[in-house]
Amino acid sequence: MNNPDKEYTIKTAKTSEEVRKLIENGFEYVTEIDGTKLFRKRKCMHATEGERMKVRYRVHKFDINMTKDQRKLEQFLNSLEGEVEAIIPSVNPKYTVRGATATVDFLLIVEKSE
């Protein structure tokens, strides 16, 4: 189960002025306990209160032969520690007398790590 303290910033208010400020800042009312109103606001994935988390990306160049390297690509992707954010193919169109075709020479794989 997720820890709500990591997902939400919790604030309290007793006066109508405090309530107004919290609502203006995106907090939502949750409940009232002993005359104190509780509000919460979902934390941004990339920021915590008072400081920003640094999101780091690594870009890997993966040379590939599309007809032979499927297993090699699977092994590489499964070996990554972070999350794959994008896979960008380098597509090279080729035109011949018979028509057009394309090859993929390499992939740029964007990995998000923390």
Q: Where are the domains of the chain?
A: 4-52, 56-113
Cβ contacts of residue 86 below 8 Å, gap of 6+? Answer: 108, 109, 110
Contact 13, 36 (CB under 8 A): yes
- The pLDDT, as a whole number, for residue 61 is 92
CA distances from residue 96 to 45, 52, 55, 100 in whole angstroms, order as listed: 49, 52, 45, 6
Topology (CATH level 3) of domain 56-113:
Dodecin subunit-like (3.30.1660)
The residues that bridge with 62 in the sheet, in sequence order, are 107
pTM for this model (two decimals): 0.51
* pLDDT > 70: percent of the chain: 84
Confidence band for 72, pLDDT divided at 50, 70 and 90 = very high
Task: Decide if pLDDT at 3 tops 70.
Answer: no
Determine the 3-state secondary structure of 71 from DSSP. Answer: helix
